[in-house]
Structures are given as structure tokens and as C-alpha cells.
Amino acid sequence: MPSMPQAVVFDMDGLLFDTEALYRDAMLTTAQALGQIMPLSLYLATIGLSGEATRQSLSRHFGADFDLDGFWRQASATFHTLTTTELRLKPGVVELIDLLEDLGIPFAIATSSEHHDVERNLGLHGLFDRFPVVVAHGDYQLGKPHPEPFLTAARRLDVPPELCLALEDSHNGVRSASSAGMMTIMVPDLLAATEEIRSLCVNVAAHLGQVHHALLNHSRGAHAPA
């Protein structure tokens, strides 16, 4: 990181929680049950997008005669069933939150998901009270890759975007955070960092533990004697 951030903005799906794989499995399984072929590449292209944008992408692929509402309901039901037993917290999340609280650095979530999904996920892992600032679908007009979700988070944190660190796992999320002017670190989940995405990031971390290490080193350097 070029400097110590004054705030941190987390994505949720694929960054805090291992949900992208569950969404993938739910969609591919539902498509197969309905006698449709859904290429993995189609799902991967929707990562980080809002539900509305994802529906538009699916509609273009399956055609106007496809029962998109029925597909969406069935895939959503399958996903929620999976979360009851398979929703996992990403390694290093709690330790990173602990460090930010110790350092007095405020943090928030900026996600394309609905507020009730955020509340469910945080609640299942006892983290609901640790994220007082959540920016989710409905809090902005334009979703990722537009910068508005991250700009909204910065405004609610009362920290200029250029002094915020954004943590993202998706290409669309990185584009959103970078265009908001934030220092951006990608922590890849289902998508690898491309040359374009690397150019938008200050770094690419293999896991959140590396972000924890970088912040800890920065904090120690800031308090080192001159």
C-alpha cells in the first residue's frame, strides 16, 4: 500500500464469505434442472454485478421466452438452502477486523447484495454488530462497476475516497473501487487478476492475511522513532 488508509471498505460476496461458489452452484444446478445449459463463463461474468444486471445478462443468454422469474426463484431457494450448512467465512476476516478496531480504523461493507442477505450472512457468523456501516443494494442508483457504491461508503464513513482502502475479489468490484479513487487490493476468489485488473490495484493479495500483515507493518512504521 502506498500509504496507511484512514478507512477500509470491504466487498462481501467472495471476500468476506465464500458465497460466490454457492451462487455458482445454485445457478448452474437450476439451469440444468430446467433443461438449460449455462456456461460457467456466463456466471463468472456476472460476479460483482447487481441482481438486476445479472438478470439482464441471463435474459440475453437464455432468450425472451425463458422463464427468468422462475429460474431466479428456484436458484435463490437453492442458494439459501446451501447457506444454512455451507456458508463459510473467508480465512483471516476476524483477525483483520480485530486489527482495524485495535488501530481505530473505521470500516464498512459495499456490496451488490441486498441488506437482508448481508444481515443473514453477518448474523450466521456473529459479525452483525461489527459492521455498523453497510452499503447494499438500494443505497445507490448505479451498481458496480460504477463507483457509486464505494463513494457512498466513503461518504458514510466521512473519509475521502482517496484515503480509503477497498478490498475486492471481483473484476467489476475492482473497477468500481478504483474509479472511486480508492487504493484497491484484489483478493481473488473465483476470478484471477488480469493485466487490466492489476493495473487498477495497488496490489493483489493471495488472502486477507496478507492485507493484515501489510496494515500491521504500516502501523508499526508509523510509530517507529525518527
Query: Which positions are annotated as active-site residues?
Result: 11, 13
CA distance 147 to 140: 10
Rounded to whole angstroms, the Cα distance separating 104 from 114 reads: 28
Q: How many CB atoms lie within 10 A of CB 13?
A: 24
Under 8 Å between Cβ of 10 and 108: yes
Residue with cell 480485530: 98
Cβ count within 10 A of residue 208: 22
Q: Residue 66 burial by CB count (10 A; 0-12/13-18/19+): exposed, middle or buried? A: middle
Show Cβ contacts of residue 215 under 8 Å, excluding neighbours closer than 6 positions: 1, 4, 5, 96, 99, 100, 103, 105
Q: In the block, which residue shows the cell 461458489?
A: 21
What is the Cα–Cα distance from 121 to 119, expressed in whole angstroms? 6
